[in-house]
Structure 1
Amino acid sequence: MSETTPYDADRARFPRQALARLVLCDHATDVADGAAGLVATGNDPDTGPGGRASQAFQLVELAERALASAVIYERERGSSWTDIAQYLGIGPAAAQERFAAALDDWNTAFEVPYRLDDTGRKRIPQLPTAAYDPVWACGRLDTWAANRLRVSRDERPVSSGLVQAVPEEELPSVTP
C-alpha cells in the first residue's frame, strides 16, 4: 500500500539514482564534519578520558553508513555485485549479503514511505532525509560544498551534477 508524502512532486524530479547520490553526499558530509572534529586540539583538556576514541569510533560508524549509501548508489546506477565487491576486497556474494538489508530498506521505503511511531499517531518517513526532501538536500549540500570545497567554482557543486528526470530549464531554483 503506497501513501503519498508532502515531497512526492519534488522527489519525482529526480530518478532513484540521483536520490541515492544525494543520500551518499549527505552521509559524506557527516563523515567530513566528524573527522573535522578530531583535528582541533584546543578542547582536548575538556574531553574526558576516552573522549577522542569515542569520537573516532563514531566516525567509523558514520563511514559505515556512508559505505552502505555508496553501495546503494552503485546498485542504482547499475553496478554489479562483482564491480562493487572488487573495491571492497570481498567476493560478490559476501558484498551482496553484507548490504542486502540496507538495499532492502531502501527499496521498501519507496513502496511504504512511512511507518507509524509507537503511539500510532505520528508518521515517520522511511527514506533518508536527503531522498525524502531532495530540494532541501540540494540546497543544503550545495551550500556545504561551496563553503568547504574551495577548488570548485561551481555555484551548485552537488546538484549541478545530478541526473534529473525533468530538464534543468524546467526546474525551479533549488538554492536555499
Structure 2
Amino acid sequence: MTETTPYDADRARFTRQALARLVLCDHAVDVADGAAGLVATENDPDSGPGGRVSQAFQLIELAERALASAVIYEREQGSSWAEIAQYLGIGPAQAEERFAANLEGWNTAFDVPYRLDETGRKRIPQLPTAAYDPAWACEKLDRWAYVQRIGIDAVSSGLVMAVPEEELPSVTP
C-alpha cells in the first residue's frame, strides 16, 4: 500500500504533536456536543424511558476517548508517564499500562496508515479522522468554535412548568 492520497500531503504539513492536538480537539467537541444534548429540554417528550441515562452514559465513553487522546497528545508533547499519572491519581506504571494500547495504535498508524477492508479493495485509514485529514479537521473545528459564540434559548424553552408564566401572580415592589 504505497499509493498516496491527497490527505497524505496535507498531513505531512503537520507535526505529530499538532495532529494529536487536532484529535484531542475533535474528541473534546464530541464531549461538548454530547453534554449539550443533555442541556436542551425541548425534546424530552421524544426521549424514551432511560433515554437521558443513555445519553449521560455515552458522555462517559466520549470522555474516556478524549482522555486517551489527551494522553497521546501529552506523550507527543514530551510529558513523562509520571507527569501524566499525577493528574490521573495513579502511578506512572499504571498510567502507561492503561494507555499502552491507545499509544501503540497511534504509533502504528503512522507506520501502517491504512488497512484493506474485507474485500481487499478499499483502504481504511488507521489514524483518527482529525489526524488523517487535518485540513478538514481545522476547518470543522474552527467553524465549531465560531458557532459556540452564538447563544440560543434551548434550556428554558423546553421545560415543563408547574404554572404557566401568564398565570403567575404579579409582584409589585
> TM bucket by the smaller chain?
0.7 to 0.9
Query: Which moved further from structure 2: 64-73 or 36-45?
Result: 36-45
Deviations 1:66-91 (A, max 9, x none): 00000000000000000000001110
User: 2-side partners of 1:149 and 1:60: how far apart?
Assistant: 25
- Which residue of 1 is the match for residue 19 of structure 2? 19
- Which residue of 2 is the match for residue 45 of structure 1? 45
- Which residue of 2 is the match for residue 101 of structure 1? 101
Runs of 5+ unmatched residues, structure 2: 151-173
In the alignment, does 2:30 pair up with 1:30?
A: yes
SS of 2:130's equivalent?
helix
Written as runs of structure 1 = structure 2, the 5 A alignment for 1:66-105 is: 66-105=66-105
User: 2-side partners of 1:72 and 1:18: how far apart?
Assistant: 11
Q: Cα distance, 1:12 vs. partner?
A: 1.2
Q: Cα distance, 1:5 vs. partner?
A: 3.4
Structure 1 counterpart of 2:141, one-letter code: L
What is the count of residue pairs matched by the alignment?
A: 150
SS of 2:38's equivalent?
coil
Structure 1 counterpart of 2:114, one-letter code: Y
Looking at CA atoms only, which structure, 1 or 2, has the larger radius of gyration? 2
C-alpha spacing 1:85/1:125, structure 2 compared with 1 (3 Å): same
- Which residue of 2 is the match for residue 170 of structure 1? none
- Could you tell me the percent identity over the aligned residues? 83
Runs of 5+ unmatched residues, structure 1: 151-176
TM-score for the superposition, normalised by structure 2 = 0.83
Contact 1:31–1:59 (Cα < 8 Å) also in 2? yes
